[in-house]
Structure 1
Amino acid sequence: MSDLPIGEFALRDLLRALWLVSLIFICLILPFYLWQQLAPESYEEFWLKSVSPMSRDARNEILRQRSL
C-alpha cells in the first residue's frame, strides 16, 4: 500500500467519487439543458409527447391553454 495516512487516503477516494458522480450528472443533464436553450420549442414538444398516462391530464391542460 501507499505511505498515505488512512484519513488522507479516504479523503482522496471521496473526492474521486464526488468527481465521478459530478461528471456523470453533468453528462446526463448538459445535453438536455443545451437542447432547451437552443431549440426550446422542440424540447417542449418532446416532453409533452412523452408523458406517462399519470400526467396525461397535465399535458392536456397545457395543450388546451396553448390553443386559446
Structure 2
Amino acid sequence: MVDDNATSRRALQSQLERWGLETLVADGPQAAVDLLAGGRPVQVALIDLQMPGMDGPRHGRPPARTAGRP
C-alpha cells in the first residue's frame, strides 16, 4: 500500500490486517519502489491517487523496458 497520509495508511493497514492480509506499507512513491526492488512478490497494490511527485496512475504503470532486457 502506498499513501503519503499517515492517518490513511494506519487505517487501511489496520483494516487489511483484520482481513488477514499481510501488508507492505510505503509512505510515498520512492519508498514503494525501494520495497519492490527487494524482489518480494506483490499480488495487489493499493496506491493513493494523489501524491506529491508521482500520482497513483503514473506509479501503477509498468516500468519502461530497457533495450535487450525482458
TM-score tier by shorter-chain length is: under 0.3
TM-score, normalization: structure 1? 0.22
The structure that has the greater radius of gyration is: 1
